[in-house]
């Protein structure tokens, strides 16, 4: 009887869902922003100029406009100077390039970015490569990407940096872990892989990068100790694709139709909600990775201020 009862308990425990702990990205982002605000206050008190962030918005895309307003508000709240440059949708390549040149030369602007996406007639690479690397707070200039790939990151893209901060806050050690990243974009997948591969804290991981041409995606995701989904495909990752006990980080945020909601839509991530039944830790959508992006962007502005005070790392004549 005792043996039968123990076997019954064992089977019951084995079948019980894990119910992943929710990682509160909003709370961690608020912590980061408080750190930045303290840094700004001390920086200015020491006689240094007020750090400044500029955002260039081309066109009238509603989502982009919302993101820009959020960045502007957050910048002011931490005590930085904020500036938004708006150009019409039909602005020419040269008009945008002139704004970039002005911001490169403006001492009030510690760092700046061009909000993506931009209209199709704009050559994005030409614009991004024209930004002074010391002011490239998006971390996507080839100079900064090269440093990142070389294992000595300086200004790193904000979303990957935010993911690492979330893992650190939860005490997740990446050393020796198998991290599977779904997505190979220049703003998330590729830089995140490079950060995880670097030596030292927050790195030393074994990294697999999957993408839209990967065959049998689940055969890779089920190997992950830490699974990051950043492909922009709603609910692509199902719970049968997740290793029991894995840490899952959902970067996706896509609006999908949902007639059960009063507004007729909801925000969905790249993972189905049911992954919480097998994972140990998870980021929600919304409220997970999203809030970290602006917070880490502000940290980059502060880092750019220090670079400027030290004379920068190079002479830039773009």
- Of 308, 310, 178, the C-alpha closest to 247 is 178
- Residue 177 per-residue DSSP state: -
Instruction: Read off the tokens for 32.
Output: 């980061």
Instruction: Read off the tokens for 7.
Output: 């076997």
Could you tell me the maximum CA-CA distance found in the chain, to the nearest angstrom? Answer: 83
Rounded to whole angstroms, how far apart are CA atoms 301 and 297? 6
With H, G, I as helix, E, B as strand and everything else as coil, classify residue 112.
strand
Asked about 115 being catalytic, the answer comes back as: yes
Rounded to whole angstroms, how far apart are CA atoms 299 and 287? 19
For the beta carbon of residue 257, count every other beta carbon within 10 angstroms. Answer: 8
Rounded to whole angstroms, how far apart are CA atoms 296 and 263? 31
Rounded to whole angstroms, how far apart are CA atoms 54 and 81? 8
* Annotated active-site residue in 71, 135, 177, 299: 71
With both helix axes pointing from N to C terminus, report the angle between 25-45 and 62-77 in degrees, rounded to the nearest 10.
50
Neighbouring residues of 13: CB distance < 8 A, sequence distance ≥ 6 = none
Asked about 71 being catalytic, the answer comes back as: yes
Asked about 303 being catalytic, the answer comes back as: no
Rounded to whole angstroms, how far apart are CA atoms 36 and 32? 6
Check if the beta carbon of residue 270 is closer than 8 Å to that of residue 251: yes
* Annotated active-site residue in 138, 225, 250, 270: 138
Residues annotated as catalytic are 71, 115, 138
């Amino acid at each position: 009887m005792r043996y039968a009862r123990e076997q019954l308990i064992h089977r019951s425990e084995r079948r019980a869902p894990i119910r992943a702990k929710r990682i509160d990205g909003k709370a961690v982002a608020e912590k980061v922003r408080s750190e930045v605000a303290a840094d700004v206050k001390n920086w200015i008190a020491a006689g240094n100029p007020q750090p400044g962030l500029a955002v260039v918005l081309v066109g009238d895309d509603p989502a982009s406009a919302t993101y820009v307003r959020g960045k502007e508000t957050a910048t002011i709240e931490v005590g930085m100077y904020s500036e938004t440059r708006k150009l019409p949708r039909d602005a020419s390549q040269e008009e945008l390039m002139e704004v970039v040149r002005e911001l490169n030369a403006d001492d009030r602007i510690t760092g700046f970015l061009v909000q993506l996406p931009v209209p199709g007639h704009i050559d994005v690479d030409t614009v991004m490569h024209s930004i002074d690397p010391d002011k490239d707070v998006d971390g996507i200039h080839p100079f900064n990407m090269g440093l990142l790939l070389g294992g000595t990151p300086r200004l790193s893209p904000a979303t990957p940096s935010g993911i690492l901060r979330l893992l650190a806050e939860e005490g997740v050690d990446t050393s020796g872990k198998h991290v599977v990243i779904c997505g190979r974009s220049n703003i998330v997948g590729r830089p995140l892989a490079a950060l995880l591969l670097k030596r030292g804290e927050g790195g030393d991981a074994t990294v697999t990068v999957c993408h839209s041409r990967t065959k049998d995606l689940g055969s890779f995701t089920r190997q992950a100790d830490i699974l990051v989904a950043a492909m922009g495909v709603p609910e692509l990752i199902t719970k049968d694709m997740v290793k029991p006990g894995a840490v899952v980080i959902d970067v996706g945020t896509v609006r999908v139709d949902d007639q059960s909601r009063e507004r007729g839509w909801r925000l969905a991530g790249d993972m189905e909600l049911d992954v919480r039944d097998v994972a140990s830790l998870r980021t929600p959508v919304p409220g997970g990775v999203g809030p970290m992006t602006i917070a880490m962007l502000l940290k980059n502005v502060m880092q750019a201020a220090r670079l400027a005070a030290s004379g920068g790392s190079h002479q830039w004549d773009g």
